[in-house]
Amino acid sequence: MKNNTINPSKQNQCIFDLLPEASPTFQTEFKKQQPIKQETQIMNTQDQTDKYGFKSQKELKQKNDPKTFNARIQKWRIMIDIFDKQEKPDKKLLKNRTRKGIPDGFRNLAWPYLAGVPQAKIDSILYLKCGKYDEFLKSQEFKFEQQIRLDVLRTFPDNVNFQDQTVLSESLVNVLKALSVAISDMGYCQGLNFLTAALIMVTNDENAFWILFRLMTKYNQAEKYKNPSYLLREFFILDSLINQYYPTTAKIFKKNNIDLFYFATEWFITLFASTLPIDLFYRVFEIFLLEGEKTLFRCALTIIHFKEQKLIQLQNNFENSLRHLKSLDDFFTLDNDQFINVMLNKFKFSRQLIQQLDEKYKKQKKK
């Protein structure tokens, strides 16, 4: 993997400001997205948008077996009841049901438990002397507010819910402001807007805030926003896994100088919220909440899995290969279960493997 160097001292700068200069065509692609000027009011109707407000995303193919779906709903009713009673569900059962997918109407209830939000509130009281979302919004100063408001206009530009002054766009601003206060040494960085927007399309502002707070603390995701060089660790691990599982793709990357930095930055900085169809992102995200960081690398490998054949055809074309790696089109031709089954069954590595690669990266970094 090509060794791009990021200056660790540039904390709280946006990741996309720090992309290497080797490929100016692509390095600022994310930032160049201009706010969509909405000439006329778009009504959020079924034929104009999908259920989340996207104008361009096609509906993923789904297996709609009413009997199976109804049974899944009933099982999650029981699971939520267990959560509400503060009882511990059977770990194997919870893992199995989460992998099969949480029904839409239950995500708002299940995600806070999977993320450990009750514990996050306790931790917040202990360490920050503040345990309520609204209290973080009472701050006298939000030094990142101007940047947040600019980025909200760039968030999912094809989603009507984030164009101009909408209820969800203001919710997005508030959650990001509160998070920048709660984790002041992280503040705000681009990428968080996409992840947060994906959450508030499903759950309320308060739940979204506490899930994010938990991700940044317990799941250690804040490091990549505090110090952009932390992403190099994730690239090193992913590069090692690609060499193991997809050596042909690894050779194509090396031959054409396609560094993971050019396309995987967006994957890791948004936790795939902006790089997968939204329904598929939700499936991956809830597995991540339960199973942790290895899910991110499994997801990245699964994307490579479905793109490898086309990459082989495009192997001598840098720009088309990179464009293909960033495209969502591949994932509208399969249902969620196809992607999830490959992710879970083909890449069965453990957390220990990720830890071993992490240690290998640290040793290499010291040299």
Q: Per the structure block, which two tokens stand in for 94?
A: 């919870």
- One DSSP character per residue, 67-78 reads HHHHHHHHHHHH
Residues of the chain with confidence (pLDDT) below 70: 1-47, 56-64
Residues 6+ away with beta carbon under 8 Å from 258:
252, 318, 321, 322, 325
Are the beta carbons of 57 and 158 closer than 8 angstroms?
Answer: yes
Residue 47 pLDDT: 53
What does R_g of the chain's alpha carbons equal in angstroms?
A: 20
Record the pTM: 0.85
Residues 32 and 219: their CA atoms lie apart, in Å, by 30
- The stretches of the chain forming alpha helices (DSSP H) are 24-27, 66-84, 91-100, 104-115, 117-128, 133-136, 145-152, 167-182, 192-200, 205-217, 223-226, 230-245, 247-255, 261-269, 278-291, 294-313, 318-326, 336-345, 351-366
The per-residue pLDDT for 331 is: 87
The whole-number pLDDT of residue 333 equals: 80
pLDDT digits (tens, 9 = 90+) for 86-124: 888 999 999 999 999 999 999 999 999 999 999 999 999
**pLDDT confidence of residue 63:** 61
Task: Look at the block and give the residue holding tokens 């001598």.
Answer: 316
**Residues whose CB is less than 8 angstroms from the CB of residue 49 and which lie 6 or more positions away in sequence, other chains included:** 42, 55, 159, 160
Phi and psi for 228 in degrees, rounded to 5? Answer: -55, -25
| Per-residue pLDDT, 16 | 41
Q: Which of 270, 299, 300 is nearest to 287 (CA)?
A: 299
Residues making up the chain, counted from first to last: 367
Extract the tokens encoding 83: 């959560």
In the numeric block, which tokens belong to residue 288? 């991540």
Q: Is residue 209 within 8 Å of residue 133, measured between CB atoms?
A: yes
pLDDT at 61: 55
CB 287 within 8 A of CB 295: yes
Instruction: Kindly report the average pLDDT of the chain as a whole number.
Output: 85
Amino acid (1-letter code) at residue 193? N
Give residues with Cβ within 8 angstroms of 338, minimum separation 6: none
Give the pair of three-digit tokens for residue 306.
């479905």
| Structural contact between residues 178 and 136, judged by C-beta atoms closer than 8 angstroms | yes
Q: CA 107, CA 63: separation in Å to the nearest integer?
A: 19
pLDDT at position 24 is: 36
Of 294, 258, 268, 287, the closest CA to residue 189 belongs to 268
Q: Give the whole-angstrom CA distance, residue 78 versus residue 56.
A: 36
Does the CA dihedral 141-121-189-274 come out positive or negative? negative
Name which of 183, 192, 200, 181 is nearest 137 in CA terms.
181
Question: For position 58, what pLDDT does the model report?
Answer: 59
Distances (CA, A) of 332 to 14, 56, 132, 154, 346: 30, 12, 40, 23, 21
Per-residue pLDDT at 129: 84
